[in-house]
């Protein structure tokens, strides 16, 4: 029976891919069809299968629905105020166009604490698109760098949710995780981006891998500034746009419309960049402070309230709206928020149906089956932890669940093996990055935010994170020889 369920899981996943990539069926419909098939074929019965599909959609929406919605809206306000473009300018002036993929990946993985992958993705995706346009680097390279950085942050770096969660059952204190995690994260990000970039030069085809219906004007105008300096500033206004008004749209009127939101801020007075970034900085700080307090065993009700992701992002959204008023006027704020809501709508639909499939996978008992298969093979713990996490990621989509499950399997035998607990943590995290695809809700968010076809998303999102997973495995096996 166990084998039959695993076979049905394979059929469901392959069927979903075929429906999307070959039959050109909408991914939302394909995911629901796959979930219904797996539930019925896996023995849940007709009524329980439908209940699982609904429950999975609802549970995921309850968990990330408002977070994604508010995150997208914050990204819209940052775009309207020109903050994203200013971040792009700063990165380009700092390192030049050739190194911009590495800076983006390191920023996503080290500078921006990836407490919630989805939030970081919807905020940083426009920066990746803008960097690609401004530098002339391939969007595949920039998007892959973002995917790698965010996944490393989630699984390896404190306070990434999965990294912290895995540390608990393995008995790894956060100080040890910080000492190991940050240096290794830098290595993982740089080496993985380098390898993925080389792969993209061989296999990425913009004609086939980009979505024709996607409007990439949201990423700004291509080649509006010289990459290495941040702009010619031929108009003498100090913004490098050459139009004399500081808004970067070339019309000289000094105002940014919502339709051309990626342009830099419209006002003559440009607020300090740290102020412009407050819609992102404030929520991150609130969440991080609350996380640190809880780790330290201090439960502060007010801090827990303010540091909850929904409340923290709502505060950030309010700040973003206030800062956007000079750029779009008070009348334009409603249009700005409506645009963000429309963008988040399709993202939430993709996310929800991925949750439906994940719930069915859980209820047919796939995770338990895989656990029993691998638990008897603890003689090669590093490879085992990586393999269990990789298989679970392929099967059910969530990197966090895959890493935590893999680590939990090895936790009971840590006292009887020579392998250091930190290596099991790292192997579990790296394995959990392998093969994220249609069962992963962030696969669809990534696709929608950056404008790739499903095939293109496999090449970039799936392959980028899998590159990190393989690099991580090799590194962990090498460390196991000396630690």
Determine the 3-state secondary structure of 438 from DSSP: coil
Say which residues have a Cβ less than 8 Å from residue 217's Cβ, sequence separation at least 6.
Answer: 260, 262
Write down the pLDDT at residue 204: 94
Residues of the chain under the 70 pLDDT cut: 1, 21, 84-85, 88, 111-116, 159, 217-218, 220-269, 343, 346-347, 351, 367-379, 409, 412-413, 415-417
* Residues 133, 218 contacting (CB under 8 angstroms): no
What does the block give as tokens for 349?
Answer: 């639909």
What does the block give as tokens for 307?
Answer: 């540091």
For 411, other C-beta atoms within 10 Å of its C-beta total 16
Compute the distance between CA of residue 310 and CA of residue 306 in angstroms, rounded to an integer: 9
Say which residues have a Cβ less than 8 Å from residue 177's Cβ, sequence separation at least 6.
Answer: 158, 163, 164, 167, 422, 425
Q: How many residues does the chain have?
A: 483
Compute the distance between CA of residue 387 and CA of residue 384 in angstroms, rounded to an integer: 5
Compute the distance between CA of residue 170 and CA of residue 167 in angstroms, rounded to an integer: 5
Compute the distance between CA of residue 440 and CA of residue 217 in angstroms, rounded to an integer: 27
Write down the pLDDT at residue 262: 38
In the beta sheet, which residues pair with residue 210? Answer: 452
What does the block give as tokens for 237?
Answer: 């206004």
Peptide bond into 145 cis (omega under 30): no
Compute the distance between CA of residue 438 and CA of residue 366 in angstroms, rounded to an integer: 17
* Residues 287, 309 contacting (CB under 8 angstroms): yes
Compute the distance between CA of residue 415 and CA of residue 24 in angstroms, rounded to an integer: 51
Burial class of residue 28 in the structure, from the number of CB atoms within 10 Å of its CB (0-12 exposed, 13-18 middle, 19+ buried): middle
CA within 13 Å, CB half, 36: 9
Model pTM?
A: 0.68
Write down the pLDDT at residue 240: 38
For 179, other C-beta atoms within 10 Å of its C-beta total 12
* Residues 176, 134 contacting (CB under 8 angstroms): no
Write down the pLDDT at residue 241: 41
Write down the pLDDT at residue 434: 95
Q: Which of 430, 432, 437 is nearest to 471 (CA)?
A: 430
* Residues 107, 149 contacting (CB under 8 angstroms): yes
Q: Which of 475, 406, 464, 456 is nearest to 434 (CA)?
A: 464
Compute the distance between CA of residue 149 and CA of residue 109 in angstroms, rounded to an integer: 4
Compute the distance between CA of residue 258 and CA of residue 255 in angstroms, rounded to an integer: 10
Compute the distance between CA of residue 471 and CA of residue 76 in angstroms, rounded to an integer: 35
Tokens 């629901």 appear where? 32
* Residues 74, 336 contacting (CB under 8 angstroms): no
Write down the pLDDT at residue 344: 73
Q: What residue ranges do the domains of the chain occupy?
A: 1-216+269-481
Torsion of CA 283, 450, 186, 100, to 10 degrees: -110
For the chain, report the end-to-end CA distance as a whole number of angstroms.
Answer: 41
């Amino acid at each position: 029976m166990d084998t039959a369920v695993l076979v049905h899981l394979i059929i469901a996943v392959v069927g979903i891919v075929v429906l999307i990539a070959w039959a050109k069926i909408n991914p939302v419909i394909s995911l629901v069809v796959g979930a219904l098939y797996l539930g019925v074929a896996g023995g849940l019965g007709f009524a329980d299968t439908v209940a699982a599909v609904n429950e999975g959609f609802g549970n995921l929406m309850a968990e990330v629905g408002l977070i994604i919605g508010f995150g997208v809206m914050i990204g819209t306000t940052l775009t309207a105020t020109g903050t994203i473009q200013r971040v792009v300018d700063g990165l380009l002036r700092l390192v030049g166009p050739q190194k911009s993929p590495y800076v983006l990946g390191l920023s996503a993985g080290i500078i921006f604490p990836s407490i919630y992958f989805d939030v970081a993705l919807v905020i940083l995706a426009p920066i990746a698109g803008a960097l690609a346009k401004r530098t002339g680097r391939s969007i595949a390279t920039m998007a892959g760098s973002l995917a790698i950085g965010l996944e490393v942050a989630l699984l390896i770096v404190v306070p990434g949710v999965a990294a912290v969660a895995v540390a608990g059952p393995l008995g790894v204190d956060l100080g040890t995780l910080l000492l190991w995690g940050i240096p290794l994260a830098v290595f993982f990000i740089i080496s993985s981006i380098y390898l993925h970039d080389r792969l993209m030069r061989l296999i990425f085809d913009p004609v086939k891998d980009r979505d024709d219906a996607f409007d990439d004007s949201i990423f700004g105008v291509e080649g509006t500034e010289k990459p290495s300096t941040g702009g010619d500033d031929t108009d003498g206004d100090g913004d490098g746009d050459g139009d004399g008004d500081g808004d970067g749209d070339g019309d000289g009127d000094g105002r940014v419309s919502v339709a051309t939101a990626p342009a830099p801020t419209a006002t003559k007075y440009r607020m300090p960049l740290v102020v412009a970034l407050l819609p992102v900085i404030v929520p991150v700080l609130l969440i991080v402070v609350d996380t640190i307090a809880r780790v330290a065993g201090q439960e502060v009700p007010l801090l827990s309230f303010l540091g909850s992701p929904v409340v923290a992002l709502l505060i950030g959204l309010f700040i973003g709206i206030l800062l956007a008023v000079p750029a779009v006027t008070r009348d334009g704020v409603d249009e700005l928020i409506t645009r963000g809501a429309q963008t988040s709508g399709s993202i939430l639909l993709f996310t929800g149906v991925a949750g439906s499939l994940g719930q069915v996978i859980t209820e047919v008992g796939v995770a338990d089956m895989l656990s029993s298969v691998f638990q008897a093979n603890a003689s090669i713990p590093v490879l085992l932890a990586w393999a269990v996490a990789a298989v679970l990621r392929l099967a059910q989509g969530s990197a966090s669940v895959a890493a935590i499950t893999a680590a939990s399997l090895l936790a009971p035998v840590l006292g009887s093996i020579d392998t250091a607990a930190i290596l099991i943590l790292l192997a579990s995290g790296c394995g959990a990055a392998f093969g994220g695809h249609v069962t992963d809700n962030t696969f669809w968010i990534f696709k929608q935010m950056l404008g790739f076809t499903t095939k293109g998303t496999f090449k970039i999102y799936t392959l980028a994170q899998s590159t990190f997973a393989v690099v991580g495995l090799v590194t962990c096996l090498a460390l196991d020889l000396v630690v």
